[in-house]
């Protein structure tokens, strides 16, 4: 089981780095009059585990901080992800662990 936890941790690290980079790229595009990353794609990456990266990028790049769906959605996604990780940490055999096959 511990190997699967390490895989999940590595997944979260990679997804958060990718999400941070995607937000940074979108900020760069906004400043250089380039095609932008769709908001749905940014939120998708935050939802699949990249909420920490999205929140960090929003603060670091000062990007999407006034948009309500990001201002409130990213912290809500982060809250849900923390709860799910906490449930896994307390009892890996609960429904979350079974869904992830841990």
Query: What is the pLDDT, as a whole number, of residue 2?
Result: 67
Domain count, the chain: 1
- Whether 44 and 6 have beta carbons less than 8 Å apart is answered as no
Neighbours of 80 (CB within 10 A): 12
Residue with tokens 């992800």, as numbered in its chain: 81
Question: Which alpha helices (DSSP H) does 32-67 contain, by range?
Answer: 39-45, 51-61
pLDDT along the chain (102 residues), means of 10: 78 97 97 96 96 96 91 95 84 71 65
Look at residue 4 in the predicted model and tell me its pLDDT: 75
End-to-end CA gap in the chain: 6
User: Which domain range does residue 60 map to?
Assistant: 2-99
| Whether 16 contacts 53, CB under 8 Å | yes
Residue 9 contacts residue 52 (beta carbons within 8 Å): no
Tell me the helices (H) and strands (E) count for the chain, helix number first.
6, 0
């Amino acid at each position: 089981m511990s190997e699967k936890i390490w895989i999940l941790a590595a997944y979260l690290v990679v997804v958060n780095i990718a999400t941070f980079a995607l937000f940074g790229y979108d900020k760069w595009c906004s400043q250089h009059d380039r095609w932008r990353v769709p908001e749905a794609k940014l939120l998708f990456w935050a939802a699949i585990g990249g909420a920490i990266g999205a929140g960090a990028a929003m603060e670091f790049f000062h990007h999407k901080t006034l948009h309500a769906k990001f201002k409130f959605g990213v912290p809500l996604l982060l809250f849900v992800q923390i709860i799910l990780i906490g449930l896994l940490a307390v009892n890996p055999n609960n429904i979350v662990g079974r869904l992830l096959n841990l």
